[in-house]
Amino acid sequence: MIRQVTSIDEIKYLTKTFHSKKKSVGFVPTMGALHAGHESLLKKSVSENDITVASIFVNRTQFNDPDDYKNYPRTIENDLHVLEKAGVDILFLPKYEEIYNDDYRYRVIENSLSKILCGSSRPGHFEGVLTIVLKLLNIVSPAKAYFGEKDYQQYLLIDGMCKALFMDVEIIPCPTVREKDGLAMSSRNLLLTSDERKTAPNFSKVLRNAKSAALAKARLEELGFKVDYVEDLYKRRFAAAFLGKVRLIDNVQI
């Protein structure tokens, strides 16, 4: 049965004990509302490490829209089922007051990649992401941490942060998991209406098939998406667009 831990001191004690016994620790940080995409990360960690720790923490510092934070899905009972099924050993459920005991006075700032794509339309987002990931990695001290390629910009930033700060952790990217109709799995998909859910698979299809980013943007707008950006970088096509009130992101290799 999975062990649930809320105290930072307790999780640090446990992981230090594992290290002293030469047991490798894998880590999957999440914000909950777990789906098959998360499950793939969890299973990879379980297969590659002696102990797997997952965390669930809806990190308010990365939400530039308070309503987005308020409406973010919380599905703890289902999450526990997913974690148990995947074979996770420990669930870390930190408390905001303990994680941010400095009242977010200290934060990680990156001045290049974090300012484009999602960073240009979500001010402060990646500061919140990098700060919480740094805190969690320092607390859990894993040998490996796993992140999905759906948030490829996030993966690049986290991997770059760890290398820049000489952190003793390997950041493992994992392929995007998709629904049968091609929609990238995301916790936010739960917020789509039935009609929006029928339209949503066109997002990835257009990104894959359009001959240019500009043509992809135009086609998505024709289909009813409110496009934030479509850009080709790092041999990938990155995009973010709204369907109704739900902001979807995706990227595909080109």
Give the pLDDT confidence of 236-254 residue by residue, as tens digits: 999 999 999 999 999 999 9
Catalytic option among 19, 35, 38, 125: 38
Q: Are residues 121 and 32 in the same domain?
A: yes
CATH number, domain at 225?
3.30.1300.10
Q: Residue 128's domain spans which residues?
A: 3-174
Q: For the chain, which ranges sit under pLDDT 70?
A: none
Q: Are residues 66 and 123 in the same domain?
A: yes
Contacts 24+ apart (CB under 8 A), 22-25: 23/50, 23/51, 24/48, 24/49, 24/50, 24/51, 24/143, 24/144, 25/49, 25/50, 25/51, 25/52, 25/53, 25/140, 25/141, 25/142, 25/143
pLDDT at 243: 97
What the block records as the tokens of 32 is 């909950």
Our answer to whether residue 38 is catalytic in this structure is yes
Q: Are residues 128 and 69 in the same domain?
A: yes
pLDDT at 1: 87
Q: Are residues 167 and 212 in the same domain?
A: no
Give the span between the Cα atoms of 53 and 90, in whole angstroms: 5
Say how many domains are in the chain. 2
